[in-house]
Amino acid sequence: MNEMSTSDSERRPIEVVKAINGLEKVVLREIQGSSVEIYLYGAHVTSWKNEQGEELLFLSSKAIFKPPKPIRGGIPICFPQFSNLGSLEAHGFARNRLWGFDDDPPPFPVDAANKVFTDLILRPTKEDFKIWPHSFEYRLRIALGPGANLMMTSRIRNTNTDGKPFTFTFAYHTYFSVSDISEVRVEGLETLDYLDNCKKRERFTEQGDSITFEESEVDKIYLSTPTKIAVMDHEKKRTFVIRKEGLPDAVVWNPWEKKSKAMVDFGDEEYKHMLCVEAATVEKPITLKPGEEWRGRQQLSIVSKKLDS
């Protein structure tokens, strides 16, 4: 990755449109035909399509596009708290806040191939300060490259002026669209330790084979995983590859039948067509002193053949 900026002349234009319930949405289109859609509400990616125009992310048909309800599906951002690991609402507040455009982002290591991107920024409101008394700047670059490569880079800086550090956990809570959950395998998490959210976060060690899904909810936090994980959809002959930096853990979630029925913004049968595999940092929360910055990046891509081990 070379340190240079994509000149404005090279950069492809982005579209900003009024979408569901008047919420603003950014549309990135890559020259070969792939696209990404991002709501400023939550800096939430709700669509990622390949060059054939096929949707790669799951978005519930019952998703609610109305603050403060988070959008069900796509890629919610969990910050400054993953799940209920703290006193804040589940998964923190970044996913149900209105983000702005970052017109003057600090220099950024870019991949020259990614000519279409947008820079978004979140700073705390007075209300946020009451529940999480810290100043921060969260800069997010979402870039789309050839082959429908989707790159998401988060830079979180502690801007406290009272000398106080802050600590957070984080996840890109990606909902992949799959043909049939019973046809899906996840590779790259074999033999790893994980915390089982269905068993009071007890610690277990995963078996030696790739992970498959049958009969019940799966909600596991895999610890210190490889930087590359594959989600293989045999029926669609499609493999999603997740590459991650600064995000040692990975969460795997499928609500299965019972929990699907319990969620108002999720269809009873929709668990059959989605799988969450989330690049995360959970086990070892990140602590930043004033002036310090953390970076967490995920790259999502699609390959048609099996991932070389």
Determine if 44 is a binding residue for ligand TA6 (CB under 6 A).
Answer: no
Determine if 50 is a binding residue for ligand TA6 (CB under 6 A).
Answer: no
**The pairing of beta strand 228-233 with beta strand 274-288:** unpaired
173 is catalytic: yes
206 is catalytic: no
| Prior bond of 226 cis (ω within 30°) | no
CB 280, min distance to ligand TA6, A = 8
Determine if 278 is a binding residue for ligand TA6 (CB under 6 A).
Answer: yes
The Cβ of residue 309 has, within 10 Å, a number of other Cβ atoms equal to 9
The residue (of 39 and 117) whose beta carbon lies closer to ligand TA6 is 39
CB 191, min distance to ligand TA6, A = 22
What does 150-213 look like in DSSP terms, one character per residue? EEEEEEEEE--SSS--EEEEEEE--EEE-S-GGGEEEES-TT-EEEEGGGTTEEEE--SSPB--
Dihedral sign for Cα atoms in the order 169, 193, 174, 279: positive
3-state secondary structure of 1: coil
CA-to-CA separations, 259 to 22, 171, 195, in angstroms, rounded = 30, 21, 19
Distance, in Å, from the CA atom of 157 to the CA atom of 24, rounded to the nearest integer, reads 26
CB 4, min distance to ligand TA6, A = 36
- Segment contacting ligand TA6 by CB under 6 A, of 6-14, 24-32, 51-59, 83-91: 83-91
Determine if 173 is a binding residue for ligand TA6 (CB under 6 A).
Answer: yes
Single out the catalytic residue among 30, 173, 187, 270. 173
The residue (of 50 and 260) whose beta carbon lies closer to ligand TA6 is 260
Site string for ligand TA6, 57-76 (x = CB under 6 A): -------------x------
Please identify which residue in 25, 44, 49, 91 interacts with ligand TA6, judged by CB under 6 A.
Answer: 91
Distance, in Å, from the CA atom of 261 to the CA atom of 178, rounded to the nearest integer, reads 19
Which of positions 96-155 make contact with ligand TA6 (CB under 6 A)? none
Determine if 270 is a binding residue for ligand TA6 (CB under 6 A).
Answer: no
**How many residues line the site for ligand TA6 (CB under 6 A)?**
11
Determine if 251 is a binding residue for ligand TA6 (CB under 6 A).
Answer: yes
CB 122, min distance to ligand TA6, A = 18
Which of positions 3-32 make contact with ligand TA6 (CB under 6 A)? none
How is residue 41 written in tokens? 């509400």
The residue (of 50 and 60) whose beta carbon lies closer to ligand TA6 is 60
- Judge residue 202's burial from the number of C-beta atoms within 10 Å of its C-beta, 0-12 exposed, 13-18 middle, 19 or more buried: exposed
3-state secondary structure of 21: helix
Which stretches of the chain bind ligand TA6, using CB under 6 A?
70, 83, 90-91, 173, 197, 219, 251, 253, 276, 278
What positions carry a catalytic annotation?
A: 173, 278
